[in-house]
Structure formats: structure tokens, C-alpha cells
Amino acid sequence: MTHYGFLSTFPPTRCGLATFTESLSAALVRHDDEGTVVRALDQPEERGHQDPRARSRVRTDLIAGDSLSALRATLALNACDVAIVQHEYGIYGGRDGDEVIGVLAALRIPAVVVLHTVLVAPTPHQREVLEEVCRLASVVVVMTIHARDNLAATYAVDLTRVRVIPHGVQHVALRESEPHSGRRVVTWGLLSPGKGIEWGIRAVAQLTDITPDVEYIVAGQTHPKVLAHAGEGYRTMLAGLAGDLGIGSSVRIDGRYLEASQLAALIASADVVLLPYDSLDQATSGVLAEAVAAGVPVVATAFPHAVELLSNGAGIVVPHQDPDATARALREIITSAAVADRMRETALRETNKTTWSAVADRYRTVTARLAAGRAA
């Protein structure tokens, strides 16, 4: 029996790391195993607003700037056999999230740190934080070969402790699809500037000659941190742009946070998933992994995870902020059944290697070795 500890954001928090940790913990903790979640929060949660799902699985919270919560988090994790810690600069307190270093330093158990961002050009302090996080980890997990290579080239990290384990995915290809007419391009995920949706809208505006009509669905709430500081300005700008380009009726910007079944139906209904991200160094994308696992052709800008995952032919990589190239790629897939079918077959061929069950087995192997080494 293994008692796993998890340090991360966690539902009801709505972000990629929360979803990742919920899926990994559900797949990893089975049979006689136990799981303890320590949830990272920006501020304390009011008791009346606590989600029942969180109460049942979260042991305690690590609250930014709260030293007492850091002590509670450390005690909870040290009661486990191994800690699995998600790392992203923005989810922990302190400058560049450096408060997590104190928690890691106080752990008496092995820690597996999962890096969700490996910046190509970090600031000196960002580099210092990541190097110290990796030094304190027993094992460092990255999700792509590119991220491992970037660690080697940019950071002083012991590569013998680095493992590449892909982002897990759900099976969504066989779900009942959302009914619709015409051709459908879909982007989903929390909305924020930098997602490049404006470039996607400009690309779709070049496809008005295609019959049946092409519609563009952008699904997802505005990121909570963006909403708190900038409101719905980005979403409003996108809607205005679609209207200005004369495709307001063809672009639907859905502000709901979709539940798993709703999202699965939307993905299954897509002819193409479009990821027009502005980021030049995004190491991982759960949206990309899920799209490929669903067997849906993908058009994505040339961020590292897309270049790596689509290199076998599951989609088309286009330059950043280039609506003309994006429109050409979308047109190629939408107007050629042979191209789309070839991409679907290529994508589905690799899916079994990245299901959450398969990914959890990889983590289980890593943690078992750590436990054996500790016992010895």
C-alpha cells in the first residue's frame, strides 16, 4: 500500500493544474492506496463556499503568504509515503512562487516534482527558483522531450533524476457528439490574452466561401486571475473583432466552464481543434493532448509541445500570429476527407500510451523505486 500526497491547485479551482492533479490522483490511488491532497490557494476560502468535492479529498490548504498554512501543508505531506508536487510559477505565494521552496525543503519523504513550465528565457530569479525546486526533488518529471532538453540547456539540473512522462488524457473519441450543422472549428480552455484567439478569428474569416459554413466555437470561462484584474475585456474584444470581420454569426464564444461530458461532446463534434497560442515556449498543453487523444485533427502554432506531438502527422503546425497560414491549414483539413482521416488514424494510434491509466502506471513505477530506495 502506498500513501500518495499531492500538492497542487485542485477543484473547485478551475485551471489546468487542478484538472491534471484530479485526473492523476484518481488514476494513481487505487485498491489499498491512499491519497492526501494539499491544495494551493491564493487566499483562504470562506467556509460557506467550500465545495463538497474539495472537502472530501483535500486535507489542508497551502495559502499564499500564510506561514501557518505552510506548516500544516508540510505536516500533511510528511504523513504520506511520497509527495507529487505540481510546479508552475503562478500557483504558489512569493516572488515567482518561491514559497513552495520552503515546503519542499521541510519534507522528510521523497518528492516527485512535475514541471508544467520550463521557460526558455527565464529571469535570473525564475531560474534560481526552478533550479532549487529541482534540487530538492527526488525525481523531476517533464512531459515532453523538448522540456527535458530545455532543462539541460538552460538550467543547472541533475538530469539523472529527470523523467519524461507524457500528459495524461481521457478517452473522448467515442462519446456522443454535440449536434450541429456545417463544419466546426473548436478551441477550448480558460480564456486569457495570449491564447491567440484573435488570430483564429481572423483565419476563420478567410473561410466564408466554404460550404457548408464553417463555425468557430471558443469554449471556456475567462481565467479567474485575468477576470479579477482585467474583467471580460479580452472576451469583449474578440466578439467585437468577429463582428467587424463580418463573421459574428459564425463565431460563438461560450463563457461556460464545461463539465466533462459536455466537453467530450464538443470535442467529438469538432472537425478541427485550433490552438493559435501566442506562447513561443509552452512546454505542455492538456488541451492539445486531449484533442490528439480524441482523434481530432489539430492546427496549432509552433509552441514546443505542438511541434513534438504533431510531428507524426496528427495535425499541422503553423507560424505564430499568422492568420493566412492558419486559414490555409484549416482549409486543407476541412475540405479534404482524406487528409482529415489520415490525421485521425495517426492520432488514435498513439492514444493508449497516454491514457491516465497508462500515465499513472509510469508514476507508480517511479514512486515504487523511491519507496524501495528509502526503505533500503
Residue with cell 489520415: 342
pLDDT tens track for 76-88:
999 999 999 999 9
Q: Which residue has the cell 491532497?
A: 37
Q: Are 10 and 39 in contact (CB under 8 A)?
A: yes
- Region of 97 please: left (phi>0), alpha (psi -120 to 50) or beta: left
d(CA 278, CA 98): 26
Backbone angles phi, psi at 149, to 5 degrees: -65, -35
The per-residue DSSP string of 272-297 comes to EEEE----S-----HHHHHHHHTT--
Positions in the chain whose pLDDT score sits under 50: 173-174
> What cell numbers appear for 4 in the block?
500518495
Calculate the alpha carbon distances from 97 to 45, 142, 265 in Å.
19, 18, 36
Per-residue pLDDT at 376: 60
- Tell me if the pTM is above 0.75: yes
Distance in angstroms (rounded) separating the CA atoms of residues 73 and 213 = 53
3-state secondary structure of 46: coil
- Cα distance between the two ends of the chain: 17
Amino acid 154: pLDDT: 95
The pLDDT of residue 173 is: 47
User: With contact defined as beta carbons under 8 Å apart, do 2 and 82 qualify?
Assistant: yes
Torsion of CA 130, 303, 361, 176, to 10 degrees: 140
User: Look-up: residue for cell 491547485?
Assistant: 9
Burial readout 76-107 (b: 16 or more C-beta within 10 A, e: otherwise): bbeebbbbbbbbbbebbbeebbbbbbbbbeeb
**37 in Cβ contact with 6 (< 8 Å):** yes
Kindly provide the residue ranges of all beta strands, DSSP E only, lying in the chain, ordered along the sequence.
3-8, 34-41, 58-63, 82-87, 111-115, 139-142, 162-164, 183-188, 214-219, 251-254, 272-275, 298-301, 315-318
Tell me the per-residue pLDDT of 96-129, one tens digit each, with 9 for 90 and over: 999 999 999 999 999 999 999 899 899 999 999 9
For residue 75, what are the contacts with CB-CB under 8 A and spacing of at least 6? none
Q: Write down the pLDDT at residue 46.
A: 62
45 by DSSP, 3-state: which? coil
